[in-house]
């Protein structure tokens, strides 16, 4: 360009040469002037061509981003510019072909909004008002104008806008839920740390939500990990709230596990009763009413949620134990009147609705418990004559109607509960000189006892049921001025560990517990008065 400019500046009149003889000088001057004029004309033409070549571009061949799209917040404007250029990269000012931009790399699966086709001005298409609403990093734009070579922009980022609302990104399931803090467009605001609180919205059966219900967001999401609803039901929802933002409601969900439901009450309210199951029907036997020891027998059918009265127990009693073998219930021991321990054993056959007397238990006692292992009823512990705490274990074989003495339980106790898993009998809680959390296991094959992990909540007068190889310890009393417990704790013998489960709806002590078709039933007991309440727990 410098040489060309000098050439352009060289177009001027040639200098006059020095004078010679008049005639000779005239002829020479004429010739010289003519020659120099011709040369000057030629130089002027060349200079004109050179100057024109330096300022006028060639034909348009390609596009190029002269203003790159900048990173922005969701929904905010993006204003790139695209030039129409020749092969050398010069902008072709006279180009008129419309230029269109579209998303190239699209990590957020977004749409490009705004006027995406623009006519160039002086060879440059300037875009304004373009926007993207989905936050992500690594977007690019592609510019095109047929038949020119297209251009791709540098990568850019769309960041979330200001937080405006909550949304359930993890719907309630198995005690968990996730709530995101979002902008207007549904982008998670990663910098948000708001405390989010959840509560029951739709509540079809008046359940109670438990667990940690207020959680601070991390990376814009509040994660709830230990929520539970105490009542089984369909159509629950959760609501989520935080200050200054629009709340959210979850999709509907059902509570079908680790929950309780109320069933038809037992007709005769009573405590310290015995329960047993035969052919999917639960039988409530004896116990203590407000008036006296009872011989009442009532049967609950879960399939109809109804009770029927059966033939009474011949010997009315409370604090007895019941075991079922081959479709027959065996009522063992107990007390008749005040603190009078019994040896009585009576058998009930539901198929005939009749009772028969069996061989007496060797040791009179009440406040005992019974478990069945391989068709044999094991009567364990209790209180004997002279108000003596017992660790006595005696086994009744219905096939021979005989009793044998077994290895004594290491911790003498009363008002405990038992459950049997895989041929091993587990003794849970009760009281001796104090309320116990002690768990001891009896192996009938080796006639020996081992100590297991203690129950977290020491208590007596509880019930135990077994579902799928897990023992559930339900209700009871922890001493002092405490109310009857709603506490439910589960023991897994395979890991020798306890976990806390959903609270019983009505706290009770001295209740009966058994299992029908994988559902645990808590029957009767004491809750400030003798109770006929029946609640079902679905583990």
Alpha carbon distance 183, 220 (integer Å): 11
Residue 44 to residues 12, 33, 63, 306, 389, Cα–Cα distance (Å): 9, 16, 36, 118, 131
The pTM of this model reads: 0.75
Alpha carbon distance 409, 392 (integer Å): 6
The β-bridge relationship of strands 448-452 and 233-236 is unpaired
Residue 144 to residues 20, 81, 149, Cα–Cα distance (Å): 71, 12, 7
Lowest mean pLDDT segment, chosen from 31-40, 71-80, 307-316, 510-519: 31-40
| 60-159 has CATH 1.10.3470.10 classification | no
Q: Is the peptide bond between 95 and the residue preceding it cis, with omega within 30 degrees of 0?
A: no
Q: Give me the mean pLDDT over the 16-24 stretch.
A: 42
Kindly tell me if the per-residue pLDDT of 3 is higher than 90.
Answer: no
Spatial contact of 438 and 459, defined as CB atoms under 8 Å apart = no
CATH tag, 165-255: 2.60.40.10
pLDDT at position 174 is 86
Is there a shared CATH topology between the 60-159 domain and the 165-255 domain?
yes
Alpha carbon distance 372, 425 (integer Å): 8
Segment 280-283 long-range contacts (CB within 8 Å, at least 24 positions apart): 280/516, 280/517, 281/350, 281/516, 282/514, 282/516, 282/521, 282/523, 283/310, 283/322, 283/329, 283/348, 283/350
Kindly tell me if the per-residue pLDDT of 8 is higher than 50.
Answer: no
pLDDT at position 55 is 60
Segment 147-150 long-range contacts (CB within 8 Å, at least 24 positions apart): 148/60, 148/61, 148/62, 148/63, 148/84, 148/97, 149/61, 149/62, 149/63, 150/63
pLDDT at position 268 is 98
Using one digit for the tens of pLDDT, what is the confidence trace for 406-432? 999 999 999 999 999 999 999 999 999
pLDDT at position 13 is 38
Residue 256 to residues 209, 232, 281, 317, 533, Cα–Cα distance (Å): 14, 5, 22, 37, 21
Alpha carbon distance 151, 458 (integer Å): 75
pLDDT band at 53 (very low <50, low <70, confident <90, very high): very low
Percent of the chain's residues with pLDDT above 90? 86
Q: What is the dihedral of CA 469, 474, 479, 484, to 10 degrees?
A: 180
pLDDT at position 16 is 42
Both tokens of residue 532?
């006929």
The number of beta carbons lying within 10 Å of the beta carbon of residue 412 is 18
Question: Who's near 75: CB < 8 A, 6+ residues apart?
Answer: 131, 132, 133, 161, 184, 185
Domain ranges of the chain: 2-55, 60-159, 165-255, 259-457
Kindly tell me if the per-residue pLDDT of 331 is higher than 80.
Answer: yes
Question: Who's near 50: CB < 8 A, 6+ residues apart?
Answer: 4, 7, 8
Superfamily of structural domain 259-457: Kelch-type beta propeller (2.120.10.80)
């Amino acid at each position: 360009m410098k040489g060309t400019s000098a050439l352009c500046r060289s177009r001027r009149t040639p200098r006059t040469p020095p004078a010679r003889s008049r005639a000779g000088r005239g002829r020479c001057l004429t010739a010289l002037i003519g020659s120099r004029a011709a040369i000057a004309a030629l130089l002027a033409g060349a200079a004109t061509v050179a100057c024109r070549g330096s300022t006028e571009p060639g034909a348009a061949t390609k596009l190029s981003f002269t203003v790159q799209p900048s990173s922005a917040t969701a929904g905010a404007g993006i204003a790139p510019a695209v030039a129409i250029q020749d092969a050398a990269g010069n902008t072709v000012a006279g180009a008129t072909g419309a230029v269109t931009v579209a998303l190239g790399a699209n990590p957020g699966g977004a749409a490009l909004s705004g006027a995406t086709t623009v006519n160039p001005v002086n060879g440059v298409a300037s875009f304004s008002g373009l926007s993207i609403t989905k936050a992500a990093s690594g977007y690019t734009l592609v510019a095109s104008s047929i038949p020119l070579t297209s251009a791709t922009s540098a990568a850019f980022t769309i960041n979330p806008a200001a937080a405006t609302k909550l949304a359930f990104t993890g719907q309630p399931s198995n005690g968990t839920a996730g709530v995101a803090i979002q902008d207007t467009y549904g982008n998670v605001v990663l910098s948000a740390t708001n405390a989010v609180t959840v509560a029951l919205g739709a509540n079809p059966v008046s359940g109670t939500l438990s667990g940690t219900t207020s959680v601070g967001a991390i990376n814009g999401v509040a994660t709830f990990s230990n929520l539970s609803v105490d009542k089984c039901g369909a159509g629950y929802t959760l609501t989520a709230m935080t200050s200054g933002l629009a709340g959210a409601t979850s999709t509907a969900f059902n509570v079908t596990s680790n929950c309780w439901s109320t069933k038809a009450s037992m007709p005769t309210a009573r405590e310290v009763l015995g329960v047993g199951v035969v052919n999917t029907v639960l039988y409530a036997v004896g116990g203590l009413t407000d008036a006296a020891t009872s011989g009442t027998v009532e049967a609950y059918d879960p399939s109809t949620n109804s009770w029927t009265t059966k033939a009474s127990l011949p010997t009315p009693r409370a604090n007895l134990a019941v075991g079922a073998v081959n479709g027959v219930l065996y009522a063992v021991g107990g007390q008749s009147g005040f603190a009078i321990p019994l040896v009585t054993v009576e058998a009930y056959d539901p198929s005939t609705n009749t009772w028969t007397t069996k061989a007496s238990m060797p040791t009179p006692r009440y406040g005992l418990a019974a478990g069945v292992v391989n068709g044999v009823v094991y009567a364990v512990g209790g209180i004997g004559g002279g108000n003596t705490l017992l660790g006595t274990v005696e086994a009744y074989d219905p096939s021979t109607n005989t009793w044998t003495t077994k290895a004594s339980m290491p911790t003498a106790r009363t008002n405990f509960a038992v459950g049997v898993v895989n041929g091993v009998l587990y003794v849970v809680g009760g009281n001796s000189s104090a309320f116990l959390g002690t768990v001891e296991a009896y192996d009938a094959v080796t006639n020996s006892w081992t100590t297991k992990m203690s129950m977290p909540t020491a208590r007596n007068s509880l019930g135990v049921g077994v579902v799928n190889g897990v023992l559930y310890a339900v209700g009871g009393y922890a001493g002092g001025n405490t109310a009857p417990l709603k506490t439910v704790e589960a023991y897994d013998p395979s890991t020798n560990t306890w976990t806390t489960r959903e609270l019983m709806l009505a706290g009770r002590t001295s209740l009966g517990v058994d299992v029908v078709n994988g559902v645990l039933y808590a029957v009767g007991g004491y809750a400030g008065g003798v109770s006929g309440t029946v609640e079902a727990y679905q583990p």
